[in-house]
């Protein structure tokens, strides 16, 4: 008896329900398909491809240690799975459930094609989320639109046990595989991109549970302190299990672990929104009937935002961190998004697209719905709040260290004065070496936004 395990956003061996189910007294084909539709849809950008290459190498290495190996194919995912199943005479295929419109379509197509050939598809929950989307719902709807009541119910759901990695994996002989992709073959990857793979993820997880998590509540907003877990790419590619992370964090006491688990619940929250409203990836979740500035008219502002030259140091620092690392601190993401959508009044989709071009953790649910949250078209209960980049910078980067790190033109400025370089006069201003003046007055941006939203 042979089972195929189709890996998608779950590139790990620990705590992997599909592999556990398939591996019981059977031969297994661990399969990854470089799905043409995903590659063509704009999600296959250099930073994520490079991280993915690391993940696949590590997964293959882990399988080889257990007597198996990873089989890689390219093409249409349904055709490739059917081919592999036919070649190995597999009677079942295991897959992790996922939430995007594409994941739903993939699941439906796979089920139809496999059943037509007399094979079964098993879709497993709680692989890519801690709590399955739809498992908790309010009385009057198929999903929660507000986080706090969701979190209350989410916290009460008993989680399944964490599964150990299999000791051995037996792969049938003679299954052909393509070569694994390699990071070296991918160009224009961000210089400071993190390393991928389950081995790296697990060593980070152990260090985090012993150390950083304790101070998370106090330090998660400290831009320069960089004191968050940086697990987001690992959660995106599934090299860490959300169930395992929640279970293990709950064994550590204190406000740090509690705050950390709450953030993991945010991840599940957005997934249950997207699962119920797949259209929210592109359409306003709650329309404010915005008439955003045209992309053409705002093109100079958009370019300044993308390249980190808005004249607002904290926004520019965040945008440069994004380009350099393929990752950005959450507080930076909030400030950069508020600035684009509210201060510049540019459509959130323009910003979300740019983030997806660079973010190693770029994720339809988290990116699009966080953008909508910040643009006020999503689930924020105060949709018209505007973050002031100067006040916020003074609060979350009080000494200016984050800005100094990413905006070298300002490195000679000391203390919080760095957040308002336009206030400098004379020679001090002249010494700033090519740092731009603000592209918009904050009061002007605010007035435009208030007037636009005032129509509602
Ligand atoms: P930690 O603070 O250590 O949090 C632990 C984990 O909790 C994260 O890895 C993440 O999985 C989850 N988490 C934390 N904050 C959020 C949140 N607000 N919403 C959902 N999950 C959260 N996250 C992505 O994973 N992919 C994205 O594409 C993405 N785009 C974003 C775009 C905008 C405009 C904003 C405001 C936020 C976005 N986020 C996204 C959420 C958040 O910024 C990142 O998950 C977080 O910064 C990752 O760093 P970390 O792993 O150190 O987080």
Mean of the pLDDT values across residues 92-104? 93
ipTM over 0.90: yes
What atom in ligand 1 is closest to the CA of residue 359? 28
Q: What pLDDT is stored for residue 114 in this prediction?
A: 98
Q: How far is the CA of 233 from the centre of ligand 1 (A)?
A: 9
Mean of the pLDDT values across residues 82-95? 96
| pLDDT over 50 (residue 116) | yes
Q: What pLDDT is stored for residue 324 in this prediction?
A: 98
Tokens of 59: 């997964």
CB proximity list for 316: less than 8 A, separation 6 or greater: 308, 309, 310, 403, 406, 407
Q: Atom 47, ligand 1: which residue's CA is nearest?
A: 330
Pocket test for ligand 1, best of 45, 241, 263 (most atoms within 8 A of CB): 263
* Ligand 1: lining residues by beta carbon, under 6 Å: 220, 228-232, 235-236, 263-264, 266-267, 270, 330, 333-334, 337, 355, 359, 361-363, 366-367, 370-371, 374
Domains of the chain, by residue range, sit at: 2-126, 129-159+198-276, 299-454
The per-residue pLDDT for range 374-386, each reduced to its tens digit, is 999 999 999 999 9
CB proximity list for 155: less than 8 A, separation 6 or greater: 265
Q: What pLDDT is stored for residue 173 in this prediction?
A: 93
- The pLDDT-based confidence of 24 (bands split at 50, 70, 90) is confident
Of the chain, the end-to-end C-alpha distance in Å amounts to 61
How would CATH label the architecture of 299-454? Orthogonal Bundle (1.10)
| Among the listed residues 274, 244, 273, the one whose alpha carbon sits nearest the alpha carbon of residue 103 | 274
Mean of the pLDDT values across residues 139-145? 95
Tokens of 313: 């140091």
- The pLDDT-based confidence of 94 (bands split at 50, 70, 90) is very high
- The β-bridge partners of 374 are none
Q: How far is the CA of 217 from the centre of ligand 1 (A)?
A: 15
- The pLDDT-based confidence of 433 (bands split at 50, 70, 90) is confident
| pLDDT over 70 (residue 204) | yes
Instruction: Tell me yes or no: is domain 2-126 CATH 3.40.50.170.
Output: no
| pLDDT over 90 (residue 455) | no
Let me know: does 286 contact 382? Beta carbons within 8 Å: no
Three-state DSSP class for 432? coil
| pLDDT over 60 (residue 199) | yes
The per-residue pLDDT for range 273-324, each reduced to its tens digit, is 999 999 999 999 998 889 999 999 999 999 999 999 999 999 999 999 999 9
| pLDDT over 70 (residue 264) | yes
Let me know: does 66 contact 169? Beta carbons within 8 Å: yes
Pocket test for ligand 1, best of 47, 220, 252, 330 (most atoms within 8 A of CB): 330
The per-residue pLDDT for range 336-367, each reduced to its tens digit, is 999 999 999 999 999 999 999 999 999 999 99
* φ and ψ of 395, to 5 deg: -80, -45
Mean of the pLDDT values across residues 410-430? 90
Q: How far is the CA of 115 from the centre of ligand 1 (A)?
A: 38
Q: How far is the CA of 235 from the centre of ligand 1 (A)?
A: 10
Mean of the pLDDT values across residues 251-257? 96
Q: What pLDDT is stored for residue 445 in this prediction?
A: 96
Greater confidence, 454 or 93? Answer: 93
Q: What angle do CA 444, 287, 266 make, to 5 degrees?
A: 95
Give the chain's mean pLDDT: 95
Mean of the pLDDT values across residues 98-105? 90
Mean of the pLDDT values across residues 26-32? 95
CA distance 361 to 236: 6
Q: What is the CATH number of domain 129-159+198-276?
A: 1.25.40.80
CA distance 127 to 240: 10
């Amino acid at each position: 008896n042979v089972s195929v395990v189709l890996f998608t956003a779950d590139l790990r061996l620990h705590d992997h329900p599909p592999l556990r189910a398939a591996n019981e007294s059977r031969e297994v084909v661990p399969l990854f398909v470089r799905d043409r539709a995903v590659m063509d849809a704009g999600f296959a950008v250099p930073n994520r491809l490079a991280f993915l290459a690391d993940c696949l190498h590590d997964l293959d290495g882990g399988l080889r240690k257990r007597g198996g190996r990873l089989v890689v194919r390219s093409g249409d995912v349904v055709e490739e799975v059917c081919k592999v199943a036919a070649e190995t005479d597999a009677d079942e295929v295991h897959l992790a459930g996922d939430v995007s419109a594409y994941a739903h379509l993939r699941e439906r197509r796979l089920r139809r094609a496999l059943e037509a050939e007399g094979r079964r598809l098993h879709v497993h929950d709680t692989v890519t989320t801690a709590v399955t989307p739809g498992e908790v719902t309010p009385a009057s709807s198929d999903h929660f639109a507000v986080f706090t009541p969701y979190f209350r119910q989410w916290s009460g759901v008993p989680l399944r046990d964490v599964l150990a990695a299999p000791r051995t994996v037996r792969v049938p002989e003679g299954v052909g595989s393509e070569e694994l992709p390699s990071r070296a073959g991918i160009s224009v990857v961000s210089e400071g991109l993190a390393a991928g793979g389950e081995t790296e993820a697990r060593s980070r997880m152990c260090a985090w549970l012993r150390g950083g998590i304790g101070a998370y509540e106090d330090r998660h907003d400290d831009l320069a302190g960089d004191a968050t877990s940086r697990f987001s790419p690992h959660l995106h590619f599934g090299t860490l299990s959300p169930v395992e992370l929640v279970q293990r964090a709950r064994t550590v006491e204190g406000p740090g672990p509690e705050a950390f688990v709450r953030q993991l619940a945010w991840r599940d929250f957005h997934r249950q929104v997207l699962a119920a409203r797949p259209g929210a990836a592109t359409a306003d979740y709650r329309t404010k009937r915005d008439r955003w500035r045209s992309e053409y008219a705002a093109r100079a502002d958009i370019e300044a935002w993308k390249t980190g030259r808005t004249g607002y140091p904290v926004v520019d620092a965040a945008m440069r961190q994004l380009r350099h690392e393929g990752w950005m601190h959450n507080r930076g993401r909030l400030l950069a998004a508020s600035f684009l959508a509210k201060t510049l009044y540019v459509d959130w989709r323009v910003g979300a697209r740019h983030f997806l071009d660079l973010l190693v953790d770029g994720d339809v649910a988290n990116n699009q719905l966080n953008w909508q949250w910040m643009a006020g078209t999503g689930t924020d209960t105060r949709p018209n709040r505007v973050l002031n980049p100067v006040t916020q910078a003074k609060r979350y980067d009080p000494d200016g260290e984050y800005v100094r790190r990413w905006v070298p033109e300002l490195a000679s400025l000391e203390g919080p004065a760095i957040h308002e370089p336009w206030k400098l006069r004379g020679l001090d201003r002249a010494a700033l070496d090519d740092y731009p003046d603000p592209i918009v007055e904050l009061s002007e941006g605010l007035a435009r936004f208030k007037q636009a939203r005032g129509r509602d």
